[in-house]
Amino acid sequence: MARIDLVDLAHSYGGNDAPQDSFALKPVTMTWRQGGAYALLGPSGCGKTTLLNVISGIITPSRGKILFDEVDITPLSTQKRNIAQVFQFPVIYDTMTVGQNLAFPLKNRGVPKAEIDKRVAEIGRLLDLEPYLNRKATRLTADAKQKISLGRGLVRSDVAAVLFDEPLTVIDPELKWQLRSKLKALHRELDLTMIYVTHDQTEALTFADTVVVMHDGRVVQSGTPAELFDKPAHTFVGYFIGSPGMNILPAEVRGREAKIDGHVIALNRSYDSLPASAKIEIGVRPEFVETVAPAPGLLSAKIERIDDLGRIRFARARLGDAKLAARAPAGFTSPDGTAGLKFDPSHVHVYADSLLVEGAA
Amino acid sequence: MDKTVNQKAWFLVLPVFLVVAFSAVLPLMTVVNYSMQDTFGNNQFFWNGVGWFKELLDPSTDLGGRFLASLGRNLFFSMVILAIEVPLGIVVALSMPRQGWTVAACLVILALPLLIPWNVVGTIWQIFGRPDIGLLGYVLNAIGIDYNYVSNAVDAWVTVIVMDVWHWTSLVALLCYAGLKSIPDAYYQAAQIDGASRWAVFKAIQLPKMNRVLLIAVLLRFMDSFMIYTEPFVVTGGGPGNSTTFVSIELVKIALGQFDLGKAAALSLVYNLIILIVCWIFYTVMTNAGAERKPQEGAA
């Protein structure tokens, strides 16, 4: 159990001299507190698995340091770090029983037999594996095997953190829910730091207290699910999180007004000193744009289709070249295929070169 | 729907039928026929029933004695080379590089002995081991080891075994290497995290993942060594005395040396039967090992 600090950590598979643009993991400095549940979220190839492997010691970083409770463990091998990791595909030792699988990490560390038996029994109970402890592990289903992998991580009482590398990829959707709830319950019960890598936003947002969004080797935002939703720090976060993602529209912003296609949209804050050469965009979540009957003074859009998600309807609209999603209130119809758009000013954000700009009050 | 009666299909099967008959069934039946007869010159045959088979299994007769002795030597030889080649092959496979140009180099070097024809291997070792002009034989004698495979049975055995290990360990190593390559990296990483020692990794991951290819390797090496003929024949000719006379060498002696076609036919049928039984045992073991894996593949 430990606090984890990443200090200017970076990794390049091409070596330290490679240009920084090609780094799989660009320099990052952050702190993960003891007992937190973190998710590393991002699309394939964004560097999240690299970061995880750097923490577990499978990869030695090209640059920077990792501290566990302020002790530099960067040069230590995986065996010496107190880390548990659960991989994408269940790893079980074929010739052993479930119980022997769970005991393996303890046996390798020379823990006394009585202590091993006690821990294995306890973890078996926590993971509902008790009935299988004496069975060969090969014949079990994928989710039971993944639980064994997880159990091998939890069986050591001294682990600093448990790392998960997309552990539910091979699990059926129905069981995914169960296993995820199990993980949450274990997290509460055992007070462990858990770091969970995934490309599935639902998984990340339901599991973690803090979600770290990664894009192109960079950590673009780290915050609670609500923060990521309400105030994405980067257009990528806005787009990646939420379904449908945030609308990003090129605009001219002056003071408290944004101009799109010659129409003016009111903003809640004032943006006076935007960098002149930057690409200015506004971002607004579909939940905060409403389609209404066309009216003068409203931005008008062409409705392409309306997706009915049951609880809520989203209109897919076209605004010149830009595509946009907007909430279609109950009873909204568009006989001629056009609609006016009403923006909620408090949820319209301004981005300069994809980064959020904080306006003045 | 009525089935159309059409016997033309039989004509289409006929070519296969003829090929199989002429290439397999008729020759085999000829052997079965010979095994029941005693043959003399001028194509004279005398019916002998199961006489040869009875003799084969009775160590007190000349035929039975020779057969059972050579069978014993053959089994001993197979056990010894399996006991050497399988562990050695595993060690070689484990110490091979995983990536880079050295992989290709290692594979080529390992494959080389496999590409050399049997009688060439025999000739190489026959010359290599000669005490007068062979490098190995000369050096051994020069440093005071009395080595002569022509006159000393133990030396002959050692030569034949070392030659087989030289020729065929590569096969085991290549098969094991293929098995090792198929283990996903996650297993090694998980083992690292679980704090496994090198030996624990071998026992818990590498050996279980290799056991199917190892079974194939054992089968291939057993069959091959059980049928071995050319190499010992070239090196020792079955001697000194009968000390390296294996079943196949004995068979050729009886069939072509003494021209006792009846005895040779009976011997070859029994020889064949032993090989079939061993094959069947291996097949059963292998399919059972496969069945044990099935639910896992279905679930994943």
Contact A87 B186 (CB under 8 A): yes
Q: How many CB atoms lie within 10 A of CB A176?
A: 18
Q: Which own/partner pairs from B200-209 qualify as long-range (CB within 8 Å, at least 24 positions apart)?
A: B200/A104, B200/A108, B202/B94, B204/A93, B204/A95, B204/A96, B204/A104, B205/A93, B206/B94, B206/B180, B207/A95, B208/A93, B208/A94, B208/A95, B209/A94, B209/B179, B209/B180, B209/B182, B209/B183
Q: Across the interface, which of B193, B200, B295 has its CB nearest the CB of A78?
A: B193
Task: Report chain B residues touching chain A, CB-CB < 8 A.
Answer: 184, 186-187, 189-190, 192-197, 200, 204-205, 207-209, 292-293, 295-296, 299-300
Within 8 A of A152 by CB-CB distance, chain B residues are 190, 194
Contact A85 B209 (CB under 8 A): no
pLDDT for position B296:
43
Within 8 A of A56 by CB-CB distance, chain B residues are 189, 193
pLDDT for position B298:
38
Q: How many CB atoms lie within 10 A of CB A291?
A: 27
pLDDT for position B81:
94
Q: Across the interface, which of B193, B293, B300 has its CB nearest the CB of A170?
A: B300
Please identify every stretch of chain A with a pLDDT value under 50, giving residue numbers as ranges: none
pLDDT for position B176:
92
pLDDT for position A202:
84
Within 8 A of B289 by CB-CB distance, chain A residues are none
Tell me the ipTM for this assembly.
Answer: 0.73
The continuous run of DSSP H or E covering A83 comes out as: strand A83-86
Q: If you measure CA to CA, which chain B residue comes closest to A151?
A: B194
What's the pTM? 0.73
Q: If you measure CA to CA, which chain B residue comes closest to A53?
A: B189
Contact A105 B195 (CB under 8 A): yes
For each of chain B's 300 residues, which pLDDT tens digit applies?
567 777 888 888 999 999 999 999 999 998 888 888 887 777 777 888 788 888 888 888 888 888 888 899 999 999 999 999 999 999 999 998 888 888 899 999 999 999 999 889 999 998 998 888 888 888 988 898 888 888 888 888 999 999 999 999 999 999 999 999 888 888 888 888 888 888 888 888 888 888 888 888 988 899 889 888 888 888 888 778 888 888 888 888 888 888 788 888 888 899 889 988 988 888 888 777 655 554 444 333
pLDDT for position B92:
93
Sequence-distant (6+) residues with CB within 8 A of B214 are: B86, B90, B175, B176, B179
Select the residue from B183, B193, B207, B292 to test the A interface by mutation, using most A Cβ atoms within 10 A: B193
Within 8 A of A83 by CB-CB distance, chain B residues are 193
Sequence-distant (6+) residues with CB within 8 A of B221 are: B78, B81, B82, B85, B86, B168, B171, B172
Contact B195 A91 (CB under 8 A): no
A181 touches chain B (CB under 8 A): no
Q: Is A342 exposed, middle or buried (0-12, 13-18, 19+ CB in 10 A)?
A: middle
pLDDT for position B297:
41
Q: Tell me how many residue pairs between chain A and chain B have CB atoms under 8 A apart.
A: 67
